[in-house]
Chain A
Amino acid sequence: MEEIDEIVQEFLVESHENLDQLDRDLVALEREPGSRDLLGSIFRTIHTIKGTSGFLAFGKLEAVTHVGENLLARLRDGKLSMTPQTTDPLLAMVDTVRELLASIEDNGTEGDVDVSDVVERITAILDGNEAAPAPTPIAELLPEPAADPEPEPEPANVVAEPATVAEPVVEPVAAPAPVAAAPPAPPARPVPADTAEEGVTRRNVADSSIRVDVELLDTLMRLVGELVLTRNQIVRQAGDQDGLDLMRSAQRLNLIATELQEGVMKTRMQPIDHLWSKLPRVVRDLGAACGKGVKLAMVGRETELDRSLLESVKDPLTHLVRNAVDHGLETPEGRRAAGKPAEGVLTLRAYHEGGQVVVEVCDDGAGIDADKIADKALASGLRTSAQLAQMSSADILQLIFLPGFSTAQSVTNVSGRGVGMDVVKTNIESIGGTIEVESVVGRGTTCRLRIPLTLAIVPALTVECAGDRYAIPQVSLLELVALDADRAASAVEDVNGASVYRLRGALLPLVRLTDVLGVESERSDGHVLIAVLQAEGKRFGLVIDRVLSTEEIVVKPLTSRLKSLGTYSGATILGDGRVALILDVQALARRALTAEALERGAGDGGAEEQRAAGEHLRMLVAGIGGGRRVAIPLSSVTRLENIAASSVEVVGSREVVQYRGAILPLLRLDRHLGAVSERAGDDLVVVVYSAGARSVAIVVDEIIDIVDEETEVHSDIDDHGLVGSTLIRDRIVEVLDVRAAILAADPKFYSEPEVDLDLRNELQEAV
Chain B
Amino acid sequence: MSTRMVTFTLDGHLYGVDVGAVQEVLRGQTRTRIPLSPRTLAGLINLRGQVLSAIDLRALLDMPARAVDTEPMLVVIRVAGEPIALLVDSIGSVVDVDADQFEPPPDTLAGVSRDLLLGAYKLEDQLLLALDVDRAVAA
A580-B36 contact given A229-B49, A556-B51, CB 8 Å threshold: no
B23 within 8 A of A: no
The answer, among B35, B46, B51, for a CB contact under 8 Å with A518, is B35
Is there an interface contact between A579 and B51, defined as CB atoms closer than 8 Å? yes
How far is it, in angstroms, between the C-alpha of A230 and the C-alpha of B46 when the chains are bound?
12
How far is it, in angstroms, between the C-alpha of A565 and the C-alpha of B33 when the chains are bound?
14
Determine how close the nearest CB of chain A comes to the CB of B32; give it in whole angstroms: 4
Is there an interface contact between A579 and B44, defined as CB atoms closer than 8 Å? yes
For B89-106 the 0/1 string (1 means CB < 8 A from A) is 000000000000000000
Is there an interface contact between A573 and B49, defined as CB atoms closer than 8 Å? yes
Is there an interface contact between A565 and B46, defined as CB atoms closer than 8 Å? no
A200 within 8 A of B: no
B126 within 8 A of A: no
A130 within 8 A of B: no
The answer, among A469, A559, A579, A581, for a CB contact under 8 Å with B46, is A579
Is there an interface contact between B36 and A581, defined as CB atoms closer than 8 Å? no
Q: Give the chain A neighbours of B108 by CB distance below 8 A.
A: none
A578 within 8 A of B: yes
How far is it, in angstroms, between the C-alpha of A565 and the C-alpha of B44 when the chains are bound?
15
A226 within 8 A of B: yes
A517 within 8 A of B: yes
Q: Give the chain B neighbours of A579 by CB distance below 8 A.
A: 30-32, 43-46, 51
The answer, among B32, B35, B50, B53, for a CB contact under 8 Å with A519, is B35
| B38: nearest chain-A partner, CB-CB | A561
| B138: nearest chain-A partner, CB-CB | A561
A641 within 8 A of B: no
The answer, among B32, B37, B41, for a CB contact under 8 Å with A578, is B32
How far is it, in angstroms, between the C-alpha of A210 and the C-alpha of B100 when the chains are bound?
60
A559-B35 contact given A578-B30, A579-B44, CB 8 Å threshold: no
Interface residues of A in 526-584 (CB under 8 A from B): 556, 558-559, 561-562, 565, 567-568, 571-573, 577-581
Is there an interface contact between A577 and B53, defined as CB atoms closer than 8 Å? no
Is there an interface contact between A517 and B36, defined as CB atoms closer than 8 Å? yes
Is there an interface contact between B53 and A578, defined as CB atoms closer than 8 Å? no
Q: Give the chain B neighbours of A468 by CB distance below 8 A.
A: 32-33, 35
B34 within 8 A of A: yes
Q: Give the chain A neighbours of B43 by CB distance below 8 A.
A: 579
Is there an interface contact between A573 and B46, defined as CB atoms closer than 8 Å? yes
Is there an interface contact between A571 and B44, defined as CB atoms closer than 8 Å? yes
Number of interface residues of B (CB under 8 A): 18
Is there an interface contact between A562 and B37, defined as CB atoms closer than 8 Å? yes
How far is it, in angstroms, between the C-alpha of A580 and the C-alpha of B30 when the chains are bound?
11
How far is it, in angstroms, between the C-alpha of A580 and the C-alpha of B32 when the chains are bound?
7
A562-B34 contact given A579-B44, A581-B44, CB 8 Å threshold: yes
Is there an interface contact between B49 and A581, defined as CB atoms closer than 8 Å? no
Interface residues of B in 13-41 (CB under 8 A from A): 30-37, 41
A573-B30 contact given A579-B44, A581-B44, CB 8 Å threshold: no
Is there an interface contact between A559 and B37, defined as CB atoms closer than 8 Å? no
The answer, among B30, B46, B49, B53, for a CB contact under 8 Å with A562, is B53
For B45-74 the 0/1 string (1 means CB < 8 A from A) is 110011101000000000000000000000
Interface residues of A in 461-497 (CB under 8 A from B): 466, 468-469
Q: Give the chain A neighbours of B53 by CB distance below 8 A.
A: 559, 561-562
Interface size class of A (residues with CB under 8 A): 20 to 34
| A571: nearest chain-B partner, CB-CB | B51
Interface of B, secondary structure class, is: strand
Is there an interface contact between A581 and B34, defined as CB atoms closer than 8 Å? yes
Q: Give the chain B neighbours of A230 by CB distance below 8 A.
A: 49
Is there an interface contact between B49 and A565, defined as CB atoms closer than 8 Å? no
How far is it, in angstroms, between the C-alpha of A571 and the C-alpha of B49 when the chains are bound?
11
Determine how close the nearest CB of chain B comes to the CB of A189; give it in whole angstroms: 54
Determine how close the nearest CB of chain B comes to the CB of A458; give it in whole angstroms: 15
Q: Give the chain B neighbours of A556 by CB distance below 8 A.
A: 50-51
Is there an interface contact between B46 and A578, defined as CB atoms closer than 8 Å? yes
Is there an interface contact between A518 and B36, defined as CB atoms closer than 8 Å? yes
Q: Give the chain A neighbours of B32 by CB distance below 8 A.
A: 468-469, 571, 578-581
Is there an interface contact between A567 and B36, defined as CB atoms closer than 8 Å? yes
How far is it, in angstroms, between the C-alpha of A20 and the C-alpha of B139 when the chains are bound?
53
For A506-529 the 0/1 string (1 means CB < 8 A from B) is 000000000001110000000000
Determine how close the nearest CB of chain B comes to the CB of A218; give it in whole angstroms: 16
How far is it, in angstroms, between the C-alpha of A580 and the C-alpha of B45 when the chains are bound?
9
Determine how close the nearest CB of chain A comes to the CB of B52; give it in whole angstroms: 9
Q: Give the chain B neighbours of A229 by CB distance below 8 A.
A: 49
Q: Give the chain A neighbours of B37 by CB distance below 8 A.
A: 562, 565
How far is it, in angstroms, between the C-alpha of A226 and the C-alpha of B51 when the chains are bound?
12
For A643-674 the 0/1 string (1 means CB < 8 A from B) is 00000000000000000000000000000000
Q: Give the chain B neighbours of A565 by CB distance below 8 A.
A: 34, 36-37
Q: Give the chain B neighbours of A558 by CB distance below 8 A.
A: 51
A577-B46 contact given A559-B53, A562-B53, A571-B51, CB 8 Å threshold: yes
For A213-227 the 0/1 string (1 means CB < 8 A from B) is 000000000000010
How far is it, in angstroms, between the C-alpha of A226 and the C-alpha of B48 when the chains are bound?
9
Q: Give the chain A neighbours of B33 by CB distance below 8 A.
A: 468
Q: Give the chain A neighbours of B50 by CB distance below 8 A.
A: 556
How far is it, in angstroms, between the C-alpha of A230 and the C-alpha of B53 when the chains are bound?
21
| A229: nearest chain-B partner, CB-CB | B49
How far is it, in angstroms, between the C-alpha of A313 and the C-alpha of B133 when the chains are bound?
43
Q: Give the chain B neighbours of A571 by CB distance below 8 A.
A: 32, 44, 51
Q: Give the chain A neighbours of B49 by CB distance below 8 A.
A: 226, 229-230, 573
How far is it, in angstroms, between the C-alpha of A319 and the C-alpha of B59 when the chains are bound?
52
Determine how close the nearest CB of chain B comes to the CB of A516; give it in whole angstroms: 8
Q: Give the chain B neighbours of A573 by CB distance below 8 A.
A: 46, 49, 51
> Taking each of B31, B32, B43, B51, which has the highest tally of chain A beta carbons within 10 Å of its own beta carbon?
B51
How far is it, in angstroms, between the C-alpha of A517 and the C-alpha of B104 when the chains are bound?
42
Q: Give the chain A neighbours of B82 by CB distance below 8 A.
A: 559
> Taking each of A466, A572, A578, A580, which has the highest tally of chain B beta carbons within 10 Å of its own beta carbon?
A578
Determine how close the nearest CB of chain B comes to the CB of A521; give it in whole angstroms: 12
How far is it, in angstroms, between the C-alpha of A519 and the C-alpha of B36 when the chains are bound?
9
| A554: nearest chain-B partner, CB-CB | B49
How far is it, in angstroms, between the C-alpha of A581 and the C-alpha of B35 when the chains are bound?
10
Q: Give the chain B neighbours of A519 by CB distance below 8 A.
A: 35
How far is it, in angstroms, between the C-alpha of A96 and the C-alpha of B37 when the chains are bound?
68
Q: Give the chain A neighbours of B35 by CB distance below 8 A.
A: 466, 468, 517-519, 567
Determine how close the nearest CB of chain B comes to the CB of A434; give it in whole angstroms: 27
Q: Give the chain A neighbours of B45 by CB distance below 8 A.
A: 579
Q: Give the chain B neighbours of A567 by CB distance below 8 A.
A: 35-36
Q: Give the chain B neighbours of A518 by CB distance below 8 A.
A: 35-36
How far is it, in angstroms, between the C-alpha of A469 and the C-alpha of B33 when the chains are bound?
10
Determine how close the nearest CB of chain B comes to the CB of A260; give it in whole angstroms: 16
How far is it, in angstroms, between the C-alpha of A518 and the C-alpha of B46 when the chains are bound?
24
The answer, among B30, B31, B44, for a CB contact under 8 Å with A577, is B30
| A572: nearest chain-B partner, CB-CB | B51
How far is it, in angstroms, between the C-alpha of A519 and the C-alpha of B32 when the chains are bound?
14
Q: Give the chain A neighbours of B46 by CB distance below 8 A.
A: 573, 577-579
Can you report 18 A-B residue pairs in the complex whose CB atoms are below 8 A from each other? A226-B49, A229-B49, A230-B49, A517-B35, A517-B36, A556-B50, A556-B51, A559-B53, A559-B82, A562-B34, A562-B37, A562-B41, A562-B53, A573-B49, A577-B46, A578-B30, A579-B44, A579-B51
Residues of B within 8 A of A (CB): 30-37, 41, 43-46, 49-51, 53, 82
- Give me the 9 closest cross-chain CB pairs, A-B, nearest first: A517-B35, A579-B32, A579-B44, A556-B51, A571-B51, A226-B49, A579-B46, A573-B46, A565-B36
Sample of 13 further A-B pairs with CB below 8 A, known A229-B49, A519-B35, A580-B32: A468-B33, A558-B51, A561-B41, A567-B36, A568-B34, A571-B32, A573-B49, A579-B31, A579-B32, A579-B43, A579-B44, A579-B46, A581-B44
Residues of A within 8 A of B (CB): 226, 229-230, 466, 468-469, 517-519, 556, 558-559, 561-562, 565, 567-568, 571-573, 577-581
